Structure 1
Amino acid sequence: MVARHRDRASTFRTWYVLVILVGLAGWQASSLLAMESVFNGSFEQDSDGDGVPDGWRTAGRGTIVQRLERVPLSEGGYVARLTCTKFEGGFPDSHAMLCQLNVVSVKRGQWYRLRLRARAEELVAGSVSVALVNYRNWTPTGLQEIFSPTSEWESFEFYFRATTDLPAEESRFQIYFQSTGTLWLDDVELTPVPDFRPRRLPQLAASVDQNFLPNSSFELGGFGWGSLGQGRTSWAANLFRLEGELDESQAYHGRRSWKLTVSRENRLLTYFDYFDPSVTELRRILVAHEGWVPLEPGKTYEFSAAVKANRSAVPVILQIKQDERTRTWNLQAGSEWQRLSVRFTAEGAFAYGAIGLDASNSDEDTTLWIDAVQFRCLSSQESSLPYAPARLVESCMVTDQPGNIFTAPDRGLTLRLRAYNADSKTQQLRGKLLIDDYRDRTVHTETVAVEIPPDTRVEKVFDGLLVGKKGFYRITWQPEGAPSQVLRAALIEPYREQDSVFGMNHAFPVDFLIPLAHQAGLRWWRDWSCQWRLVQPDSAAPFDFSIPDQQIHRVLALNGEVLMLLPFPATPWAAAADLERIAQEAQSNSYLKERLVVAQKPKDISAFGAYVRAAVTHYRDRVRCIEILNEPLFTSYALPNSYGWHVSDYIDLLRSAYQAIKEVHPNCLVVGGIAAPPESRWVRDFIEAGGLAWCDVMNLHLYPHRGSPDAYEEAFLRCRDMMRQAGFASKPIWVTEIGCYADDDPPSLPFRVGDEAMNRSLRPSEWRASIDLVKFAAVMGSAGVTKIFYHAGTCGPLNENTAGNIFFEYGGCARKMYAAQASLAQFLGPDLVFQGKESWHPSLQVYRFRSRGREVVILWAKKPLKWHVPARYEVFDLMGNHLALSELTLDDEPVYLVREGL
């Protein structure tokens, strides 16, 4: 540390001489840009001796009290310290910030690396944001990251790709947080990385035979494969599992092939309920291998497969995706086996291949058999490549349960080891089976040996594993001499009640995920499809609910409960819209233009009331909860404040909706409010303006920082106090969107979960996210929250799925949060009532609830603590396992205490 600071002192002298030579009275950032992308990132320089590091300043709302200083370290050198002692939230400039203006420039398409060191104390927000923006028009440039410093110095590193050219004279590089607290910074460096490419995961390793693809002739079933659907109309409605079936009657190689069938009788449909709700029948279906092939740029690769169809001239699609580029070949298959192959030159760093059928122009049932798929790198001498499997002996571990989710803890897990020997001689398969729990502790290990005759598949069953246990489990199969396979599994007690505290914002686009979600207590679905513009596109047209019917009836048919959101206040013919301003703001973005029009207040509120009345009349026998507008005022979705709309305008619409709903369906719950975080000034203004008189439930939204959920307790309780002061002490709160994301197996590095708000809520691990889900339920429940909707029910594509749907990996496989959520729903039933917060110990957080005629306590320790369990309580861990202990070592992970008979 000392030597490093001596080097920085030398750098300071160099800069000081430079300043003198150019005759500057003070620092001029533009003159130094060519030499350093972030100036004085070491914070060593303070040429005017004012205690503020040269080149840095604060920014933020005038009512926020903050101070930026250059402070010495005991071991030598200086760092920056930003302290905020008074904070006011709810405004665009609500932040404590240090920044540089007119310094950093970036070029569109170039990758950059940002490095810094940081620590913090009493930082209520728990996290710090760093961004680079064009401050002339406040547009982002690609850098928008979040980190969570602790009380100890840590290094943080981020990679980003510039999305636009940013000249230095228009730039603001900013590091900021949104609370009181103190942040220390050092060694801030931003540098271009010319050859950087994101890493795709997982990566497939070629065997000696050079076929990258395991189980390439499907002898092990569908292991290692998934599906893609072409022709979908929504970005969120990807196929999320392997479609088709194993066929043991047809084979090009070995004894099995994969059979894809597209028929009119069994249609493959995907759904999504957002702006342009979609119901898409997919008739172009592909199978693709899981994982990415690492490429050597400039080399030639071949992707090939054997195919056979149920008739002649069936269109076949071969597809290669290299990083962000997709190339497609349209070929044909006949009624006899033939090999199809395509070749390409590697341009990216990673690729995967897919093959399937195109039945989009045919009314006939179409079947395609696929076998012997190969992905190989070619040498310059090779002109043809006979098929060869990746290995002569291949094996995998599988289950018979959808998503590997088991729902009978008393029977435990059942695993099946499948192995196939393509050799002409008998082979011995040896390996090790390992099972780790949600804290990555090994709970089962077993050595396995299997003899496999030639050209034979064998199966070994492992039954009754972990009987009586619940939770998430990571199953690892380690065959000798071959890559390991990891399987995610969950062992839960299924949720059996119709009502629940929990739900999702947007229903999953594929049907099979909805029953899996119901098993974890996710019973409610917030639907966006009943939009005025869709049900009455013209003032003279009668109301037509055929579009939302498709979305809402599907969820109801799958036994879900629907919260019907009426997201937008207008339809184009009724909107009081400044079309010229909207066109200027939207530019070429037609979606944004349409959305901004319907976001405006209607010219005639009675017409809005008629729309609401028609909607509740149509759905009165099926929907019992309706939410009025999504995130009004503080976003551009509904009545954006930037267009001159105010809280009074929202209350006008809410009153009209409330009266219309109660006229038709007096027992229907009206959910209203600003749907912002509890500390938002818009929420405060709504309550103070009397908005609570026109709703049965108030809504909030929360995309929490990466710090502890404990930090939000005060904001929720203040919000509840405001409701009490307004005369609505008992009115429930529903959090109709909350994000809490993590992925221990990310599809790429660097990893982002979604937009800025979602990325803010990304946790460092699934274990951490599981802990925070339970903590948030306790914190919010203590403030009268009785429904929680997670964002969002979306499905990403194979090999690119993000953590945005929170609970599921591709195929419906559980994340750790799924098992934690299943346990949480078992303890907190639909009749949840908060009983109080206990002060059993200064280091404990203790939240007491009543549910299903019993007392349920959620508690955790701020610091590790040995603690005696009170009499008459049973203890359960995060996953719902009973702990027969009278003394616990409590830590940051919540446990449940249950006392029966209340």
Structure 2
Amino acid sequence: MPEPRSAVLRLAAALLWVLLAAGLGGAASAANLILDGSSFETGYDGFSCLLSYSWSKHGLAAPAPRQGAIDASTSAHGRHSLRLEHEPPFGRKGFTPWCTFRWIPVTEGQRYTVSLYARGSHEGQALTVSVSDAWQDWGWSHFSLSTDWRRYNHEITVGATEAGYAWVLIPFPEDGPAWIDAVQLETGGLTDYAPGRPIDLGLRSNRAGKCENLFRVGDEVSLTATLFGRGDADPEVLLRYSVEDYFGRIPYRGEARAVVPSGAAASVELPLGAVPRGAYKATVEAVASTGEVLDFEELAFGVIAPGRKASTVESQFGTHGFPHSVLEECGVRWVRTYLLAWPAVEPERGRFSWPEERAEDRLFLDSLARHKLDALPVLQGTPEWARTQTPAHGGWAKDQSEGAKLPDLEAWRAYVSAVVSRYKDRFHCWEVMNEPTAWMNAEDYLPFLRVAYEAAKAADPDCRIVAGDTAWKNTPFLQELLDAGALQYIDVFSGHFYGVAQAGPPEVKFGGEGADAIVAFLRDAFERHGKPQLEIWNTEEGTYVPSWYRKEIMPKSREPWHRVPDVRRQARDMVRSHLIELGAGIRKVFWFYELYSEQGSDARWIIRPEGMYAIEWDGAPRPALVAYSVLTEKLEGAEPLGREVDLGEKLHCYVFARGVGSVAAAWSWDAGARQVALKLPDRPGLRVSDMMGNPVPNGAVPLTGDPVYIEAPGLSAEALAAELGARE
């Protein structure tokens, strides 16, 4: 039986907690639809603070540091609040940090109230709050803050919604820090604040920074579970944890106990030790003494090879994302960017505004140099002053581009000349417009291609012009462009080989064919038009994918044809697409996106759980990022054999020469319908590894949908292909 005095103290503490909670609001308590992280007590759990910027701010290409800081010095509820304070140069007009919470199901026509406690750094400081879905806003509320904690609320009625989900958006003030706490979304009118769960559970790793939870081989991996309890919560909690790898195996599991003081937080360390290369998802459940699961949290993490730096070989690998430090370690050597888009660099005729003059763009340029990354700038966009009255003739996005006008051709020439002249010692490849097929026909596009080629070559005779922009075989745009003689103005032909991921794996996503069929078609077309050896680059490719986390709800996609069902499919499709394209002779592939996008049109595109990213919305790596780091490690600088090795029906094998040896990649795309084993040659030094980079025993290697790599030091690509093709 507990000692009477301690029981009284516990009862008093519980009553005090109830009184404090009751002081935070209006009438009777109602369910808070923000289930996780609404009072910021367990770390960055259930909410995210990322940077938003408009399409007109193409120059941004480096992420802001984490903008929101959990603050233990002031709060309205519990022990912590969130300080909304941006770090320069971010936060100026056009670059807005946001706080947002997980997606919440909502009903069209229903009335909701969003409320929060807030205080400003000065009287009258403005704070804005919104509830919206991915594509519609239902109204903004503007509050004038006091320097004391006060509660503010905003009622909305959900209008038309495509997604059926909403999120709470809170932009950071531009004039100094403000603090928020006890955020609530509820059906109907305002009630007392109440956390969404009796216990809040947060989970973090001991690896922080952008693209968080990315470890290197040999690192000690440790997880920390943090719990915060309400006054009526069970103080003793069982923590059950498990770690699942990419292949669905559970290499780690265990239990720990935590005592959670009322109105306070408790943390428990869950050490895992050194973890092999791979992609992992940890799950921790908080279990009451009754056996009820009070909450669970998941955390993705990855382990990659340590210490990779830029090499001197010509790389095939590029992307559109950042941070550049992670790209460098994962083997990315090229970044495609809109840093030098026309509206950004020449906002008025003859007045140029260069990236070096903008602090956020200097970060990008400095980061490129520091991490030895090359860039493919896109010559793109039209400032308002340069628009003519000549209508464009439309393309596949004709509905969206209705009324589009062509740029002034001589103004375009001056822009290209100025940009290439200024950066000719830094950038040597230039792409002429992004997807001109969206709003132009070939007749519209050709003069701008010709003028860009002439102006760029006059400024830098050794530069390379990248253009073409096909996504399929034999489109009218492509055929008309070739017939009009466009190849004389193209040094590298570019495509966006997305295909239709919804139709199936990479081998069939182009109407039953893979990208290798497009390459064969283009090679034939180039030969007929006098440039048989013209290089082909894929400057965009990617898939939409749901989150690996069960709590992240998938909003409706406006491009379902690019969607795959899960992160495992994203990873294997990405690897197989690269292998098919590189094996067929495409020289570079730019993954769209890899990490945080530099092109997010606003927070909806940056933060939403569905995206083409290799990270979760909390910055944790998805399996695709780890698989990509292995792919680049095996194939950087490798030269394709030029033909596929025939292993049998629905089996693929590509061989590449690399240095004084060779490397092959093989897989089955029979969706597990049959088991196939590849018998390997008995050679000293032969190494086999799986898609995550871990060794596979030599001998008969099972072929599944996840490619395996076969490295043969000292053996030519021809010899390795012959031995693999001579299987039993």
TM tier relative to shorter chain: 0.7 to 0.9
Equivalent in the alignment of 1:330: 142
Cα separation, 2, equivalents of 1:770 and 1:222: 26
Residues 247 and 257 of structure 1 are in contact (CA less than 8 Å); yes or no, is this contact kept in structure 2? yes
SS at match of 2:334: strand
Q: For 1:700-739, what aligned pairs fall within 5 Å after superposition? A: 700-706=495-501, 707-710=504-507, 711-712=513-514, 713-724=516-527, 728-739=531-542
1:267 aligns with 2:267: no
| Partner SS, residue 812 of structure 1 | coil
State the one-letter code of the partner of 1:353. V
Whole-angstrom distance in 1 between the partners of 2:273 and 2:67? 29
Match of 2:582 in 1: 781
Give the Cα–Cα distance (whole angstroms) in 2 for the partners of residues 573 and 307 of structure 1.
45
Verify: 1:304 aligned to 2:108, yes or no.
no
| Aligned 1:623-772 pairs, distance under 5 A | 623-632=427-436, 634-637=437-440, 640-641=441-442, 644-645=443-444, 650=446, 654=449, 657-680=452-475, 682-683=477-478, 691-706=486-501, 707-710=504-507, 711-712=513-514, 713-724=516-527, 728-744=531-547, 751-752=556-557, 754=559, 759-772=560-573
- Is the CA contact (8 Å cut-off) linking 1:532 and 1:571 kept in structure 2? no
Contact 2:546-2:554 within 8 A present in 1 as well: no
What residue is the counterpart of 2:72 in the other structure?
A: 248
Q: Is the 8 A contact 1:530 1:545 kept in 2?
A: no
Moved more, 847-856 or 341-350: 341-350
TM-score norm. by structure 2 comes to 0.76
Change (3 A) 1:808 1:240: farther
SS for the counterpart of 1:775 is helix
Task: Give the secondary-structure state (helix, strand or coil) at the position aligned to 2:211.
Answer: helix
Amino acid in the other structure paired with 2:43? G
**Residue aligning to 1:21:** none
Instruction: State the identity as a percent.
Output: 22
Say if 1:477 and 1:291 are closer, same or farther in 2 by CA, change over 3 A. Answer: farther
For residue 130 of structure 2, the aligned residue among 319, 323, 336 is 319
Distance 1:390 1:609, change over 3 A: closer
Match of 1:555?
Answer: 364
Gaps of 5+ in 1: 1-207, 271-278
CA contact (8 A) 1:226 1:798 kept: no
Shift of 1:245: 0.9
CA contact (8 A) 2:336 2:378 kept: yes
Tell me which residue corresponds to 1:435. 243
The letter for the 2-side match of 1:817 is A
| Aligned counterparts of 1:391 and 1:535: Cα–Cα separation in 2 | 50
Shift, 1:430, TM fit: 0.6
Report what 1:469 is aligned to: 277
| Counterpart Cα distance in 1 of 2:158 and 2:489 | 61
Return closer, same or farther for 1:901/1:666 CA change in 2, 3 Å cut-off.
farther
Tell me which residue corresponds to 1:55: none
Deviation at 1:810, TM superposition (A): 1.8
Distance 2:553 2:323 in 1: 24
Inter-partner Cα distance in structure 2 for 1:419 and 1:289: 19
Residue 291 of structure 2 corresponds to residue 485 of structure 1: no
Q: Distance in 2 between matches of 1:254 and 1:329?
A: 26
C-alpha separation in 2, matches of 1:659 and 1:313: 56
Decide whether aligned partners of structure 1 residues 888 and 663 sit closer, same or farther in structure 2, where only a CA change above 3 A counts: same
Alignment of 1:836-847 (within 5 A): 836-837=642-643, 839=645, 841-843=647-649, 844-847=651-654
Q: Secondary structure at the match of 2:139?
A: strand
Distance 2:263 2:86 in 1: 31
Alpha-carbon offset, residue 389 of structure 1? 3.1
Q: Report the CA distance between 1:225 and its aligned residue.
A: 1.5
Q: Contact (CA 8 Å) 2:645, 2:655: kept in 1 or not?
A: no
Paired residues of 2:82 and 2:181 also in contact (CA < 8 A): yes
Equivalent-residue separation in structure 1 for 2:121 and 2:332 (angstroms): 42
Separation in structure 2 between the aligned mates of residue 702 and residue 785 of structure 1, nearest angstrom? 11
How far the C-alpha of 1:619 sits from its partner, in A, is 0.9
3-state secondary structure, aligned to 1:882 = coil
The match for 2:668 is 861
C-alpha contact 1:226 1:241 (8 A) present in aligned 2: no
Other structure's SS at 2:630 match: helix
Q: Does structure 1 conserve the Cα–Cα contact (< 8 Å) formed by 2:548 and 2:566? A: no
Q: Residues 609, 750 of structure 1: CA spacing in aligned structure 2 closer, same or farther, 3 A cutoff?
A: closer
After superposition, residues 269-418 of structure 1 pair within 5 angstroms as 269=91, 280-282=94-96, 286-292=98-104, 294=106, 301-321=112-132, 324-343=136-155, 350-355=165-170, 358-359=173-174, 362=175, 366-377=176-187, 385=192, 387-399=193-205, 400-401=207-208, 402-411=210-219, 413-418=221-226
Residue of structure 1 equivalent to 2:423: 619
**In the aligned structure 2, how far is the partner of 1:826 from the partner of 1:885?**
20
Structure 1 equivalent of residue 718 of structure 2: none
Matched ranges for 1:470-549 at <5 A: 470=278, 472-480=279-287, 481-493=293-305, 495-497=308-310, 500-504=315-319, 507-508=320-321, 513-528=323-338, 530-531=340-341, 541-542=349-350, 544-546=352-354
* CA spacing shift, 1:252–1:878, aligned 2, 3 Å: same
Q: CA offset at residue 744 of structure 1?
A: 4.3
- Note if contact 1:720-1:784 (Cα within 8 Å) is conserved in structure 2: no
Q: Aligned pair in 2 of structure 1 residues 329, 837: CA closer, same or farther (>3 Å)?
A: same
Distance 2:399 2:528 in 1: 47
Please give the secondary structure, in 1, of the residue aligned with 2:336: strand
Q: What is residue 703 of structure 2 aligned with on the other side?
A: 890
SS of aligned partner of 2:568: helix
Distance 1:779 1:414, change over 3 A: same
Distance 1:608 1:292, change over 3 A: closer
Displacement of 1:723 after TM fit? 3.7
- 2:10 is equivalent to residue 225 of structure 1: no
Distance 2:90 2:353 in 1: 23
Distance 1:731 1:453, change over 3 A: same
Distance 1:339 1:352 in 2: 19
| 2:645–2:654 Cα contact (<8 Å) kept | no
CA contact (8 A) 1:878 1:893 kept: yes
8 Å contact kept, 1:405–1:814: yes
Alignment-mate amino acid for residue 743 of structure 1: P
Aligned mate of 2:377, from 549, 557, 564: 564
Once the 2 structures are TM-superposed, how far is the Cα of residue 771 of structure 1 from its aligned partner? 1.7
Contact 1:405–1:492 (CA under 8 A) maintained in structure 2: no
Which structure is higher in RCO with an 8 Å CA cutoff and minimum separation 6? 2
Q: CA RMSD in A?
A: 4.1
> Is the contact made by 2:43 and 2:202 (CA closer than 8 Å) also made in structure 1?
no
Distance, in Å, in 2 between the alignment partners of 1:582 and 1:667 is: 33
Structure 1 residue aligned with 2:20? none
Distance across 1 between alignment mates of 2:609 and 2:470: 25
Structure 1 partner of 2:639: 833
Give the drift of 1:700: 2.2
Residues 848 and 534 of structure 1, relative CA distance in 2, 3 Å threshold: same
Whether contact under 8 Å (2:236, 2:257) holds in the other structure is yes
Are the aligned partners of 1:404 and 1:813 in contact in 2 as well (CA < 8 Å)? yes
SS of alignment partner, residue 358 of structure 1 = coil
- 1:392 CA displacement: 4.5
Q: Give the AA of the match of 2:41.
A: E
In the alignment, the residues of structure 2 paired with residue 552 and residue 333 of structure 1 have an alpha-carbon distance, to the nearest angstrom, of 33
Measured in 2, the distance between the counterparts of 1:452 and 1:874 equals: 50
* Displacement of 1:325: 4.0
CA contact (8 A) 1:220 1:395 kept: yes
Tell me how far 1:626 sits from its aligned partner. Answer: 1.2
Contact 2:57–2:344, Cα closer than 8 Å, also in 1: no
Q: Which moved more, 1:548-557 or 1:874-883?
A: 548-557
